[in-house]
Amino acid sequence: MEPGNGTQISEFVLLGLSQALELQPLIFGFFLSMYLITVLGNLLIILAISSDSHLYTPMYFFLSNLSLVDICFTSTTVPKMLCNIQTQSKEITYEGCITQMYFFILFAGLDEFILTVMAYDRFIAICHPLHYMVIMNPRLCGLLVLVSWIMSVLHSLLHSLMVLRLSFCSDLEIPHFFCEVNQMVQLACSDTYLNNILMYSSAGLLAVGPFAGILYSYSKILFSIWGIPSAQGKYKAFSTCASHLSVVSLFYGTSLGVYLSSTATHSAHSSATASVMYTVVTPMLNPFIYSLRNKDIKGSLKRFLGR
């Protein structure tokens, strides 16, 4: 195929995690199991929160939003991968690839923003407990989620429009199991200077920024907990944010691991394998972290399933 405008490209080829035919049934079963667990686990969290009036609080409002985003985040990549394995076809249309990239960036950004909002919620709850319900009122909670959506949509739209302007050559093989923006930019024949600038600057603003906000919130939380005189009070205060801290550590730890592995090995296959951790494994584990460490969620789940 001759180099030309991106709109003339008919399809890309997703190489997936492995080319070995004998491994495809194993990969299919593995990812199908993880996907079903992710959807079912996060859906149960949403249903448990929505069915229990005692959980109509800011913390659980943000948690239900996080569960919804995790379902959508995993659904942007895994179903297409499973379909390709089942049909023994690795092709994805140009339009489908752009769409998948758009929604992947959108829900990845939403994950970061909602985790940051949840850290702020825990900061207010522990550092300003007497004013918690006044500060974290329904209007502010809705506004925080709305702003998170708006910023994520604009960020994702900007990346997608920048990729649409690129021209591609004859090599249209993406060494990944989904259309990852960095891999697509590397396949372009046209000048990608602006795309690279956008990727690095957005990574700095929309990855480091929320993470810095989370670190700031938890530094204030730790100082407040340190000032509590009783050990029981310290444990009770810390337990209210332990689940969120575990999820944050898992999400950012795996994301950083993907970045470091791809930088150290310069291997697209290694990056694709490592990205499974934050695209599939982390959304799957989040419901278990919150349900196992949270008595309110466990109680609500028991009542909901008991019906």
| Residue 4 maps to a domain | no
| Residue 51 maps to a domain | yes
Over range 275-301, report the average pLDDT: 84
| Residue 235 maps to a domain | yes
- The yes-or-no verdict on residue 161 having pLDDT over 70 is yes
Sign, CA dihedral 10-16-20-25, equals negative
- Strand 11-14 and strand 91-93: the pairing is antiparallel
Residues 6 or more apart from 48 whose CB is under 8 A from it? 55, 297, 300, 301, 304
pLDDT digit string, tens, across residues 5-27: 444 577 899 988 888 888 899 99
| Residue 294 maps to a domain | yes
- Provide the pLDDT confidence category of residue 226 given band limits of 50, 70 and 90: confident
- Provide the pLDDT confidence category of residue 202 given band limits of 50, 70 and 90: confident
User: Hey, what are 274's tokens?
Assistant: 């490592």
Q: How far apart are CA 190 and CA 168, in angstroms?
A: 7
pLDDT: which is higher, 284 or 246: 284
Q: What is the pLDDT of residue 20?
A: 81
58 burial type by CB count under 10 A (0-12 exposed, 13-18 middle, 19+ buried): buried
The number of distinct structural domains making up the chain is 1
pLDDT: which is higher, 22 or 1: 22
Listing from the earlier edge strand, what are the strands of the sheet with 91-93?
Answer: 91-93, 11-14, 173-174
| Residue 99 maps to a domain | yes
Q: What is the pLDDT of residue 298?
A: 80
Assess contact for 179 and 275: CB atoms under 8 A. Answer: no
- The yes-or-no verdict on residue 263 having pLDDT over 70 is no
Instruction: State if pTM tops 0.75.
Output: yes
| Residue 2 maps to a domain | no
Q: Which domain holds residue 243?
A: 10-306
Over range 161-178, report the average pLDDT: 87
Nearest to 247 by CA among 77, 109, 106, 115: 115
| Residue 3 maps to a domain | no
Nearest to 11 by CA among 110, 123, 100: 100
| Residue 5 maps to a domain | no
pLDDT digit string, tens, across residues 43-77: 999 999 998 888 899 999 999 999 999 999 999 99
Nearest to 61 by CA among 108, 103, 134, 114: 114
Q: What is the pLDDT of residue 261?
A: 60
User: Hey, what are 123's tokens?
Assistant: 């900061």
199 burial type by CB count under 10 A (0-12 exposed, 13-18 middle, 19+ buried): middle
Residues 6 or more apart from 255 whose CB is under 8 A from it? 207, 278
- At 170, give phi and psi (nearest 5°): -75, -25
pLDDT digit string, tens, across residues 113-152: 999 999 999 999 999 989 999 999 999 999 999 999 999 9
The mean-pLDDT minimum among 97-101, 239-243, 260-264 falls in 260-264
Q: How far apart are CA 136 and CA 120, in angstroms?
A: 10
pLDDT above 90 covers a percentage of the chain that reads 46
pLDDT digit string, tens, across residues 228-246: 777 777 777 777 788 888 8
Over range 86-109, report the average pLDDT: 93
Q: How far apart are CA 222 and CA 201, in angstroms?
A: 31
Q: What is the pLDDT of residue 144?
A: 96
- The CATH number given to whatever domain includes residue 172 is 1.20.1070.10
